[in-house]
Each structure stands twice: as structure tokens, then as C-alpha cells.
A and B are shown apart, each in its own frame.
Chain A
Amino acid sequence: MKKAVWEQPGSLAEAFWKNGIADIPIYDMHGHMGSHNAIYFARCEAPEMVAHMRRIGVRRLVFSHHYSLMGSFRNKRVHAITARFPDILRMYVSISPHQTDFIAEDLDQYDSMAPLAIGFKFLPDYHKVKVTDPRYEPVLNFASERRLPILVHTWGGSPYDGPDVMLEVATRYPQVTFFMAHSFSGDLPGAKRVADACPNVYFELTSLPGQHTIIERLCADIGSHRLLFGTDMPWFDEYQHVGGILSADISEDDKHNILYRNVEKLLGKDW
């Protein structure tokens, strides 16, 4: 047999294969925390998640708590959890358009949650509210004024957060850096359309690494300089997702871009 991707001398794949860790940081830009209605998570609390991430060298996980996205758990409590692991955890302030009083309070309190809070998380497909709905506007305006990132769950064909909706929003708010969670899963042409029109948009990869040829096509059509690594932790194993990047038929530079370089260009190394 020829040398496999894991045996290429000096490559990231070789390092991770041999040691389980490499001399690079990994920035996981899409995480959660807490139990889930439909899934048993054995490791969904901070200590167990952090232990898993340390094994592979995750430098930062930015997460939004399931209970804040799906329930009424307040972001201040998420901040308290984040503060227990300040060397690795950062948070998105979870936004539910159905809780406008919570939104007002969260924006008032944002400064007390920063710098551990780095931006916001929208989950439109679950809340069934289009991102163009006026209830999101206070957050979009706040993020625009402060040039904060917003991680938006996106999905191909969605009337709430599909390419057409996000194209409109990203164009309207050019000062906001949008992280398109799941990169409009299933709609690569739609993702490319948004990428071409909106330089303020980055594409987050949760659930895509491991899918055969998807990473290759995203790199070819959008460019690895626009892609961000994420896992939905505690949904998906870090090794599984990193393995999907490392084994993709893309360049070594592409892999470096996805796992850490793009985030460091956006947010720096010290955040």
C-alpha cells in the first residue's frame, strides 16, 4: 500500500494519528452544554467536556447552553459555568426571539458577561422565527455597533435560516461577522451564493467533517479561508470531526486554516 494520509511525514494528520494531539491549537466555534430531550449525552457538563477537549488540544470551545436555547436557563448562569474554565470555555449569549424580555436583559448585562461572552447564538430552525423577524433586530444592532460575531444555525432549504434569509440579513448588517453554523447543510450552491455576496460571513462546519467530499467541495467553492471548525460538542466527538478535516483530500494549508488560522485572524490569539 502507498503511504496513507496518516503517514505523510510532517503532516498534521501524522501528528494527530501518532500522538492524538498536535502542535497547533484547535478552536471549536460551535458547542453546547447540558442534557438534551432526544439524545443521551454521557458527557454534557463542563468538566467532562473539558477533559475530552484537552485530550486533542482544543484551545477554545465557544458554546451556547442547551437549556438557554431550549428553555429558560439564563445566560448569566451560563457565564458562571464558563468562568469555572476560563482557560478553555467561551460562550455565546443564547437568543430566543420568543423571550424579548430576556433579550433586553441580556443586552443590558452583556458587558458583565464579556470577555467570556464573545457574541450571540441564534437557533431559528428550532424557534421557528425567521432571522429577518424584528425580534432579532435589537441583537443585530447591538452586534453591529460592537462588531460582535453571531453564530446562526443555518440549513439548506430552511425558511428561517436558509441562504435567501441569511443573504438578506448579512447584507443588511455588514458590520456583523456571521458564523453560518453547519454551512447551510445540504445546500452548497446556496452557501456559495452567500459567500460570494457577503464578505462578513464565515462558514462553520459542525456535522460536515466525515461526510465524504463535502470539505473538499467547500474548500474548492468557498475557500478554506472562510471555514471554521466546530463540533456541536457534546454532540460529536472531537477526534471524529478533526479526523474528517485531516483525512479530507485538501491541502495542508487548508487544514491549518480550518482548525485555527481563520479564527486567529478574526479574533486574535488572546481572547
Chain B
Amino acid sequence: MKDIAFFDAQCAIGAPILGNARGGETAAGLLAEMERNGVDKALVAHANTEAAGAIFANENLLELIQADDVDNRLTGVWTILPAQCGELPPPDEFFARMAANRVGALNLFPVAHRWQACRLTIGRLMDAAAERRIPVFLGQRIMDGGWRGVFDFLREFPAATVIINGVSLWGPDRNIRPLLENFPGCHVELSEYWVPEGIADLARLYGAERLLYGSGYPRFGHGSTMLSIRHSGLPLEQVRQIASQNLERLLAQAQLA
């Protein structure tokens, strides 16, 4: 275990509107599961962002993390909104607040929050995020049109540093391979990538540095993807990259302040 550190790119905490948090209502629940499985750190979003909205989720996430994360093992993910309504501060101020609060990445829920994910709405923020190399989570489940929405978004913001999440358990190679091939800033977290020998295939085709360990907690547990990465057949150096080093690098290179 100790020869491989794990940094989970795909976690959520907080009470979902429909319940069934499976122990993930608090950061303490997540940290206990990380401990049990041997996961060192996690990048964590709010589990109820879609229903409760970005304003509540961004604030409550910090409260949940600060309540239990005494060792600073958790880094937050904040949700963005269109600029025109002034619900979030301008990019520079927003990014500075992220840095001050140990928030390292962004996500968006345009369908649930009823806005159009395009240059007209978030162009200024996305251009700034791309320039500062701040990672943005993007997934077929939350975009209008599913994968088409993901493709459209990346065509509009090709320089963005993106982590594709929630790729779906039905083998997603027909969708993620074109994205990895065409967008150098595109990365994939692996919590739903269960393809036999697929991790090694993706690493060989596009580079191990494009892949990130993610558990998908609380929907999924931590251990299954840990074992599939550990025994992906890749050299230990690349296993370590996928397990933690790639996410460490993405967060370190982000210029928030």
C-alpha cells in the first residue's frame, strides 16, 4: 500500500435531497472510508449541488470540510454559474476565494441550474480558468445533450484543463477517446471506467498522465478502482501517476491567486 499514494478525484459529501447518502453526509464519513481503504487525499464536491444550487453548495461544502478535516486531506470543488446575474464574484476574486478556502477545482450543472454552458455565459470565467489552468469537471450526465454537450463545450473552450467524470458504466471509449485525442487539456477520472484492460489501453494511446483515480463516492466505494489501477498491467511509475501524482500536478499547476 505504502508504495502507492491515492488521491481521489471524484468524491461528494453532503445530504442529497433524495437521501441515500450512504454515510457521505459528512466529511467524517468520507474520511473514515478513505482510512479503511488506504486513500490518502480527496478532491470533494457537494453531493446536493444540483438540487440545492451553487450558492448553498459552495458554502456548505466548506462548512462540512472544516468541521471534520483536521489533517487537511480534503480539497474542495466549487460550482460556477453564468456571469450576467452576479451570483458569484468576478473571476479574479472568485479564484482568490478558492485559494483562501482550499478549493482547487470547478464544476458546473447547466441543466439542473437552467443555463446555457457556452461562451456567452461563462466565456470570461472559462478563459481565465484556462489561462490559470484551473481544472474543470465536465460530464455527460450533467450536460445538455449528454456527450454532445461535452463535445460542444470542449470545442468552445479547447484550451481548458478538463476532467471528464461520470463516464458511465457502459464502456465509454467511443466518446472519451475522441476527446483525449483532440483536446490536450482533457483528462479522465476512472470511477466508472470498468473496461477490462482499458486503463492500460488508454495510457498507451494517450499517456498515463491523462488518467486520474476517482472512487465516485458515495455512489461507489473506494476499493474497486484502486485494485483495477494497481493491477492495470502498467509500470509502477505510471500506476503512481494515475493513483495520485496526476491530480497533485493538476492542482499544483493551477494559479488561483
Which residues of A line the B interface, CB within 8 A? Answer: 1-2, 4-7, 13, 16-17, 20, 36, 38-43, 48-49, 52, 55-56, 207, 209-213, 233-244, 246-249
Contact = CB atoms under 8 A, between A and B. Distances in A.
Contacts of A40: 171, 173-174
A55 B231 contact: yes
B223 A52 contact: no
A2 B227 contact: no
A39 B224 CA distance: 21
A4 B228 contact: no
Contact of A244 (B36, B169, B219, B223): B223
Given A17-B1, A55-B231, A212-B22, A246 B198 contact: no
20 contacts: A4-B35, A4-B36, A4-B37, A5-B223, A39-B174, A40-B173, A40-B174, A41-B171, A42-B198, A55-B231, A210-B194, A210-B223, A233-B196, A235-B169, A235-B170, A236-B169, A237-B228, A244-B224, A247-B37, A249-B36
B222 A42 contact: no
Interface residues of B, number: 36
A185 B219 CA distance: 14
Given A237-B194, A247-B226, A211 B221 contact: yes
Interface in B151-203: 169-171, 173-174, 194-198, 201
Contacts of A39: 170-171, 173-174
A240 B221 contact: no
A213 B220 CA distance: 8
Contacts of A247: 37, 221-224, 226-227
Contacts of A241: 194, 224
Nearest to A211: B220
B170 A240 contact: no
A249 B173 CA distance: 31
B7 interface: no
Contacts of A16: 227, 231
A20 B221 contact: no
B95 interface: no
Contact of A212 (B35, B173, B218): B218
Interface in B198-213: 198, 201
5 smallest beta-carbon distances between A and B, as pairs: A247-B223, A4-B38, A243-B227, A210-B224, A243-B224
Nearest to A16: B227
